Amino acid sequence: MRHARRRIVRRVARLAAVGGLLLGGTMVTRAVASEPPGPSTVPQTTVRAASGTGAGLVSRLGASRTAGHWLDAEGRPVVAVTDGSTAEEVRRAGAEPEVVRYSMSELRSAAATLRAAPRVPGTAWAFDYRANEVVVRGDSTVSAADWSRLTGVAEGIGDFVRMERSEGKFTTRLNGAEPIRSTAGRCSAGFNVTDGRSEFILTAGHCGPTGSVWFGDGGGGRQVGRTVAGSFPGDDFSLVEYANGKAGEGADVVAVGGGKGVRITGLGEPAVGQRVFRSGSTSGLRDGRVTALDATVNYPEGTVTGLIQTDVCAEPGDSGGPMFSEGLALGVTSGGSGDCDNGGTTFFQPLPSAMASLGVRLLVSLREGAAPGAAPSSPAATGGGRGAAAPGVAAPVTGVDGSTLLSRLTDRRNVGPGLLVVAGSVVALVATRWIRAEQDRKSYRRHYSATWG
C-alpha cells in the first residue's frame, strides 16, 4: 500500500511539473508575440472614433443645446446636453447624453467676463464639462486681496463658477523631445513641419522671440536653426527654421528617450478624458489624461488662451515638447504647476490653430496603416522614416514594427513570470526523477541485503 501511494504521489508531481512547463511556455510565447508594455512602446489608446463622435455632435447641435463632450472610463463618448430632446438625438447617434443645467454659450460668457476683469498673474480657468462648471484656480503667488476680488467677479457670474486654490505656481516650462538651447534657456523640440519649401521645428512661443538662435549642444558647436515666427503671449507657439532648411532623417518621429521614438501619422484634436503622452528633454516620456479644453492661464509673462489642460506632469526644460496619442500630434508643452515627483497640471498649445496661423503642415509618416486624414508630407518625406523631432537626430520606432525578439526575451516585465514557471517545473521534474532513483536504489539494497543473508 505504501509503494502504491508513493507511485501516485510521484505521478501527480510529474504531471504537475509537465503542466507547469506547458503553462510557462505559453506565457513566454504570448509575451514574445505581443507588444511589450511600458513607456518604451507608448501604449496606444482607442479613442479616435469616440472623440470624433462627440465633437461632431457638439458641432452639429450647437453651443446653446450642448456643453461639451468627454470620454468615460471605457472610452465611450458622452455629450452634455441641456434638454431631453437633444438627449434623444445624442443617444440615436451612438453617444451617451448627460443633461446639464448650463449650456456652452453660458460657460463661454462666464469665461469672457473673467477675461475682462483685471488680470491676476498666477490664475487660470477652464471648462469642467463633467461638472458643468468654469473652474478658476489661483496658485501660491496670488495675494489674498487679488483672490478676493476675483472671487467677487465669479460670484457675480453665477454658481457655476468654482474657485480653487492650488499649490505651486503656474509657470512656463522654459529651461523634448530633444533639447535645444539658446541664450534664452533650454527648451524641447516639438514637431517637424514644412511650408512646402523649408522645414521647421514647431515649439513653444515663450522659448524665445523671433531671431533667437538655437543649438543642439551645450557648447554651441552645432547650430540647429533660428526662430522665424511665433506668438506669445496670447498663444504659445513658434517656428524654428532649420539652419540647412531640412529636418534630416526621421522627421516623422518624436523621441521618447532611450534612443526610441514614436512615429507621427497625422494631426488630431484631443477630447476630455483621453489618454495622452508627452515627451520632454527634462522628464522624458510621461502620460496622463486631458482634463479640460479651452483653458486660459495668466502666466507672469502674459495671458495665454485656448490651451489644453492635462494632469500630465512637466518640469522646466520640457517646454515645447510634443504631446501625442495614437500617432496623432496634438500639441506642444506650454507651462503649468507641480513636478514629476508630486504631480501637477500642464497646459499645451493645440497644434491645429498654431499650424493654421503659421501656414505650415506636419511632416508625417505615409507608411501603410497611417491614420486616415494624416497631414500631407513633403515629397522628400516619402519612402521611409525621417528623423526624430529632435534636430537631425534619428530615433528608431518602437512598438510592433520596431521591437526585436531579443529585447522581448530579455525584458523581465514580459517573460519573467513565464520563465520562472518553466524553471520551477524543470526543477520539479528533476527532483521527482532523483527521488525515484534514490528510492529504487534503497529498495535494491534492502533486497540485496536480505538475499545475501
Q: Which residues contact 56 (CB under 8 A, 6 or more apart)?
A: none
Check if 146 is active-site.
no
Cis peptide before 233 (omega within 30 of 0): yes
Q: 69, 206, 238, 365: which one is catalytic? A: 206
414-432 core/surface letters (b: 16 or more CB in 10 A; e: else): bbeebbebbeebeebbeeb
Could you tell me which of 348, 338, 359, 344 has the C-alpha nearest to residue 294? 348
The sign one gets for the Cα dihedral 221, 227, 232, 235 is: negative
- Considering the candidates 139, 235, 236, 294, report the single residue annotated as catalytic: 236
Residue 206 annotated among the catalytic residues of the structure: yes
Closest CA to 366 of 386, 350, 395, 349: 386
Report which of 444, 423, 435, 408 is spatially closest to residue 36, judged by C-alpha positions.
Answer: 408
Give residues with Cβ within 8 angstroms of 204, minimum separation 6: 172, 173, 174, 187, 190, 232, 236, 237, 238, 319, 320, 332, 333, 334, 349
* Beta-carbon-side half-sphere exposure of residue 77 (alpha carbons within 13 Å): 25
Q: Which residues pair with 440 in a beta bridge?
A: none
Distance CA 398, CA 39 (A): 10
Q: Residues 319, 325, 334, 378: which is the catalytic one?
A: 319
For 343-356, the DSSP string reads EEEEEEEEHHHHHH
**447 catalytically annotated:** no
Query: Which are the catalytic amino acids?
Result: 206, 236, 319
